[in-house]
């Protein structure tokens, strides 16, 4: 039995839900994107956004992917290029400029942006001068509005206190530190050694420089981890007290991600151990005053993410939980994914292909999806469950003009079984995820996934526990 705040979780329940499933950073999920969605379709979506009245009132979110890393982390499933040749980033920035030019051609210069995130890879692979050039490029072409969230992912091994001054100068107000685990044995097993003292020093310096928020990324389920060893990391994180914590379950997919082949499956904790780590993490963070945002995010009560949850404004996008509901997101750089209107799109995944598209004066879009009406209805249901832990029948009926109980009769029947297991409560007015159900919220959401329910044989997703 695994203990959680509500009631014990049985080994039988763990075994039942020790299955693969999406994380629902989008619906439909990215594996459903098709090559029939082209650069021309993306350009049309941008034009339609520009001509729509709503675009004037809805700021954009920008994501910029910097793929370079100096060393390989064995757990990593991101699109990255391992190199110590820093001259490669100069050419990459030139092509990013071309991609931005294509966007302004179709959208106009000065579109307001209230969220910016630099991810990777390791954005801090870029030199200070290159970061200045990149931020200058973005500011010339977009309007970064006052009070926005401007964040960058940081590999603590590639930054020092002096570089924090540069990031503050450039307008970043949120930092995300890739920590994963403070345990030296785990760090060695995943080829990412970074002493806890180094992270503590950087976080203290960031606070002294006035950064609004610090996020700590953690991963449970890594090789050499045990619930007891992870407890020590949890205690250190509570002492560090970042404003946000992203706690991810390690997704072991060596058939898809070559670096993970260096990790033996026998070294990975069992599903029961992973659920124990999740339960202990939730208990430790909530005892320290954090708000459980949902699935993999925690935040201090005064952080904008916690405020958004209280106000019902929480959303989930390709970077995880977000404070902006239904915000269009422009993805820049190799492999980046974006959302414009009722479309999703993804850039080429290799530098060669990305550069080739831009050399031809085309958006580097290689696949995407125009959402159907059914996709939109189901997306609303899945995001309500994932973000609020509650789905109101009336809100769906009013927004999409459907009779919820008729439209989702099959799903409600399946949910009845989850209600018997204590994962949800089916009320006259909607569906409520229970405290125990939060451990399995992906399984609840999966019942509304039309594609997944009609294609049960697919195994490309990570385990939900």
Lowest mean pLDDT across 15-24, 40-49, 152-161, 173-182:
15-24
Annotated binding-site residue? 77? yes
Distances (CA, A) of 240 to 183, 184, 201, 204, 291: 15, 17, 10, 9, 16
Dihedral sign of CA atoms 145, 52, 327, 58 in order: positive
Taking phi over 0 as left and psi of -120 to 50 as alpha, with beta for the rest, 110 belongs to left
Give dist(CA 431, CA 247) in Å, integer. 25
Question: Model pTM?
Answer: 0.90
Annotated binding-site residue? 220? no
Annotated binding-site residue? 120? yes
Q: Start-end ranges of CATH 1.10.10.920 in the chain?
A: 1-24+372-455
Annotated binding-site residue? 99? no
Q: In terms of CATH architecture, what is 1-24+372-455?
A: Orthogonal Bundle (1.10)
Query: How does residue 251 score in pLDDT terms, banded at 50, 70 and 90?
Result: confident
Query: How does residue 462 score in pLDDT terms, banded at 50, 70 and 90?
Result: low
Annotated binding-site residue? 76? yes
Cβ neighbours of 342 (radius 10 Å):
15
Query: How does residue 132 score in pLDDT terms, banded at 50, 70 and 90?
Result: very high
Annotated binding-site residue? 75? yes
Q: Of 35-39, 76-80, 315-319, which has the strongest mean pLDDT?
A: 35-39
Give dist(CA 313, CA 298) in Å, integer. 16
Annotated binding-site residue? 194? no
pLDDT at position 10? 76
Render pLDDT for 388-410 as a digit per residue (tens, 0 to 9): 889 999 999 999 999 999 999 99
| CATH code linked to domain 25-332 | 3.20.20.70
Query: How does residue 90 score in pLDDT terms, banded at 50, 70 and 90?
Result: very high
The stretch 421-439 carries a mean pLDDT of: 92
SS3 237: helix
Annotated binding-site residue? 428? no
User: CA torsion 215→221→222→225, rounded to 10°?
Assistant: 100
CA nearest neighbour of 368 among 29, 11, 23, 20: 29
Strands 60-66 and 111-120: parallel
DSSP string, 255-318: TT-GGGGGS-GGGSPPHHHHHHHHHHHHHHHHHTT-EEEETTEEE-TTSHHHHHHHTT--EEET
Give dist(CA 135, CA 114) in Å, integer. 14
Angle, CA 333 vertex, CA 332 and CA 335 arms, to 5°: 105
Render pLDDT for 138-181 as a digit per residue (tens, 0 to 9): 999 999 999 889 999 999 998 999 999 999 999 999 999 999 99
pLDDT at position 2? 45
Letter string b/e over residues 356-366, b meaning 16 or more CB atoms within 10 A of that residue's CB: ebbeeeebbbb
- Cα atoms in the 13 Å half-sphere on the side-chain side of 354: 25
Annotated binding-site residue? 43? no
Annotated binding-site residue? 337? yes
Q: Start-end ranges of CATH 3.20.20.70 in the chain?
A: 25-332
Please say whether the beta carbons of 182 and 219 come within 8 A: no
Q: CB-based contacts of 87: which residues, under 8 Å, 6+ apart?
A: none
Q: CB-based contacts of 462: which residues, under 8 Å, 6+ apart?
A: 20, 21, 23, 249, 251, 252, 253
Annotated binding-site residue? 217? yes
The stretch 276-287 carries a mean pLDDT of: 89
Query: How does residue 253 score in pLDDT terms, banded at 50, 70 and 90?
Result: confident
């Amino acid at each position: 039995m695994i203990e959680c705040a509500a009631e014990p979780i049985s080994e039988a329940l763990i075994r039942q839900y020790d299955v693969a499933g999406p994380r629902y950073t989008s619906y439909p999920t990215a594996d459903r994107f098709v090559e029939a969605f082209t650069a021309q379709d993306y350009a049309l979506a941008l034009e339609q956004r520009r001509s729509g009245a709503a675009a004037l009132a809805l700021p954009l979110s920008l994501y910029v992917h910097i793929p370079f890393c100096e060393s390989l982390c064995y757990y990593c499933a991101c699109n990255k290029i391992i190199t110590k040749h820093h001259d490669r980033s100069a050419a990459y920035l030139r092509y990013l400029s071309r991609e931005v030019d294509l966007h302004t051609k179709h959208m106009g210069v000065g579109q307001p942006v209230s969220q910016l995130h630099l991810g990777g890879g390791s954005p801090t692979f870029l030199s200070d001068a290159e970061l200045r050039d990149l931020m200058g490029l973005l500011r010339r072409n977009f309007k970064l509005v006052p009070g926005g969230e401007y964040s960058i992912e940081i590999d603590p091994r590639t930054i020092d206190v002096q570089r924090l001054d540069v990031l503050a100068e450039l307008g970043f107000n949120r930092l995300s530190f890739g920590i994963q685990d403070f345990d030296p044995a785990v760090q060695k097993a995943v080829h990412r050694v970074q002493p806890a003292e180094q992270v503590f020093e950087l976080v203290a310096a960031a606070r002294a420089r006035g950064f609004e928020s610090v996020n700590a990324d953690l991963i449970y389920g890594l090789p050499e981890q045990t619930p007891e060893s992870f407890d020590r990391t949890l205690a250190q994180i509570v002492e560090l007290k970042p404003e946000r914590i992203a706690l991810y379950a390690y997704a072991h997919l060596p058939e898809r991600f070559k670096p993970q082949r260096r990790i033996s499956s026998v070294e990975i904790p069992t599903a029961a151990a992973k659920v124990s780590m999740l339960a202990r993490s939730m208990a430790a963070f909530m005892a320290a005053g954090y708000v459980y945002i949902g699935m993999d995010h925690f935040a201090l009560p005064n952080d904008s993410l916690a405020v958004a949850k209280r106000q019902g404004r929480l959303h989930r996008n390709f970077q995880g939980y977000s404070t902006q509901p239904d915000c269009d997101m422009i993805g820049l750089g190799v492999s980046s994914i974006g959302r414009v209107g009722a479309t999703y799109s993804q850039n080429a995944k290799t530098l060669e292909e990305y550069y080739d598209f831009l050399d031809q004066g085309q958006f580097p879009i290689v696949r995407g999806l125009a959402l159907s009406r059914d996709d939109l209805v189901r997306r609303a249901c899945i995001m309500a469950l994932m973000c609020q832990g509650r789905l109101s029948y009336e809100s769906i009926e009013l927004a999409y003009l459907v009779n919820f109980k008729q439209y989702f009769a099959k799903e409600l029947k399946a949910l009845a079984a989850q209600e018997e297991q204590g994962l949800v409560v089916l009320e006259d007015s909607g569906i409520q995820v229970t405290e125990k159900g939060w451990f399995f919220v992906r399984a609840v959401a999966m019942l509304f996934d039309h594609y997944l329910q009609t294609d049960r044989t697919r195994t490309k997703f990570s385990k939900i526990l």
